[in-house]
């Protein structure tokens, strides 16, 4: 989308989470306004993050929020409303009269913004207007929360089965945890039950089987699947998806085979060679910068970080992935063997080479 564009439409034509994900992917800046017969609310978005929110619902004003939480008295609330009528900011008026401290004002406004932000997910009908243009935050107490986190928490509050049903209603549909998990997944603060669902669906399962294996109620499980499909954490299974998953599984198996050999060599060298091993990783980074990045675990614990390696592998063109990975793993093995040859006594060097030959044989099952 381009700056200065104003888009509008009906909320029955596009779901709010879908619209928000589009803004996140393009790292847009602008104001998204939702309006129905009762209220008008807006999200201020800056480069894919929600930074501010407004609402015409009087019960979502700052004074009402503070009164509801027992932070101010009715008398203080009424006095702040009079100041509001005179054109003063309600929060500043409450600070000046000693009802709240400046830090309490920031904390309360932040909570108010979160409440308004998540309340937008209760819009079922109405219209939206999206104005893509920079805006000033000079007079605002702002937040900064990535849109996927807003969607995850906002959709978790939804209770409308009819909104979920078109996407997850058929128990025979097969779902699979996405092979290429989006980078934002680490910031979602997934609860343990949701993490469990993502783990059990790695190999692909019918929705009916996921419901049986879940620790949540069926409705809560279906809502989680709805959220995962919206955010791209899960996907419908198809032959192409299955092939990509199996390729990722193969890469993980190969890395673990080499890790077994690396661990053996590491223990022969002992931890007193840590500095030499870290230098080895730096040398590997010259020929394999992507795969060697963030792999100091090999020097410190004698193992590659498998998850980090799989993330790096996905940055390599698909046709070159396994060959590049194999080259990196072999080079790391060669570097460790060379370190053993330099530092171990002759008898230990012989034992090391015998072990590697065994692991390289078909009977040994190793990848080295």
Per-residue pLDDT of the chain (368 residues; tens, 9 = 90+): 556 678 899 988 888 999 999 999 999 999 999 999 999 999 999 999 999 999 999 999 999 999 999 999 999 999 999 988 888 889 999 999 999 999 999 999 999 999 999 999 999 889 999 999 999 988 889 999 999 999 999 999 999 998 899 888 789 889 999 888 888 998 899 999 999 999 999 888 999 999 999 999 999 999 999 999 999 999 987 655 556 666 666 788 889 888 888 888 888 887 566 667 788 888 888 888 888 888 888 888 888 988 888 888 888 888 888 888 888 898 888 888 888 888 888 888 888 888 887 876 544 445 55
CA-CA distance, 194 to 188, in Å (whole number)? Answer: 11
Q: Structure tokens of 128?
A: 């939206």
pTM: 0.65
pLDDT value for 148: 96
Determine the pLDDT at residue 212: 94
Position 363 scores a pLDDT of: 46
pLDDT for position 243: 61
Extended beta strands in the chain, E state: 6-10, 30-35, 40-46, 49-55, 127-131, 145-146, 174-177, 205-206, 234-236
Task: Give the number of C-alpha atoms closer than 13 A to the C-alpha of residue 58, restricted to the C-beta side.
Answer: 2
Query: In sequence order, which residues have a C-beta less than 8 Å from that of residue 231 and are 6 or more positions away?
Result: 21, 148, 151, 152, 182, 188
Question: CA-CA distance, 65 to 71, in Å (whole number)?
Answer: 9
Domain ranges for the chain = 6-150, 161-237, 240-360
């Amino acid at each position: 989308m381009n700056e200065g564009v104003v888009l509008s439409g009906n909320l029955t034509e596009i779901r709010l989470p879908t619209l928000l994900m589009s803004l996140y992917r393009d790292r847009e800046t602008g104001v998204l306004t939702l309006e129905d017969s009762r209220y008008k609310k807006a999200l201020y978005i800056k480069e894919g993050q929600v930074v501010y929110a407004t609402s015409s619902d009087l019960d979502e004003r700052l004074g009402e929020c503070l009164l509801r939480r027992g932070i101010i008295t009715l008398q203080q609330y009424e006095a702040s409303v009079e100041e509001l009528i005179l054109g003063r900011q309600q929060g500043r008026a409450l600070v000046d009269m000693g009802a709240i401290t400046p830090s309490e004002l920031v904390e309360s406004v932040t909570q108010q913004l979160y409440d308004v932000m998540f309340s937008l997910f209760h819009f079922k009908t109405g219209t939206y207007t999206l104005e893509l243009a920079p805006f000033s935050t000079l007079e605002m107490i702002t937040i900064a929360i990535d849109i996927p986190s807003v969607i995850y928490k906002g959709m978790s509050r939804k209770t409308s089965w009819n909104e979920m049903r078109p996407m997850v209603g058929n128990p025979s549909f097969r779902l699979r945890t996405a092979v290429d998990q989006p980078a934002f997944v680490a910031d979602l603060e997934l609860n343990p039950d949701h993490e469990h669902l993502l783990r059990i669906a790695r190999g692909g399962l019918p929705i009916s089987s996921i419901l049986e294996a879940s620790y949540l109620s069926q409705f809560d499980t279906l809502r989680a699947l709805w959220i995962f499909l919206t955010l791209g954490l899960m996907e419908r299974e198809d032959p192409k998806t299955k092939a990509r998953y199996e390729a990722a599984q193969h890469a993980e198996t190969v890395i673990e085979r080499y890790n077994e050999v690396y661990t053996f060599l590491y223990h022969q060298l002992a931890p007193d060679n840590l500095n030499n091993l870290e230098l080895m990783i730096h040398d590997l980074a010259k020929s394999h910068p992507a795969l060697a990045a963030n792999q100091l675990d090999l020097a410190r614990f004698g193992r590659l970080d498998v998850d980090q390696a799989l993330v790096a592998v996905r940055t390599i063109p698909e046709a070159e992935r396994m060959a590049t990975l194999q080259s990196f793993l072999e080079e790391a093995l060669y570097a460790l063997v060379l370190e053993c040859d330099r530092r171990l006594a002759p008898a230990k060097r012989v034992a090391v080479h015998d072990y590697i030959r065994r692991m390289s044989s078909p009977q040994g099952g190793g990848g080295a």
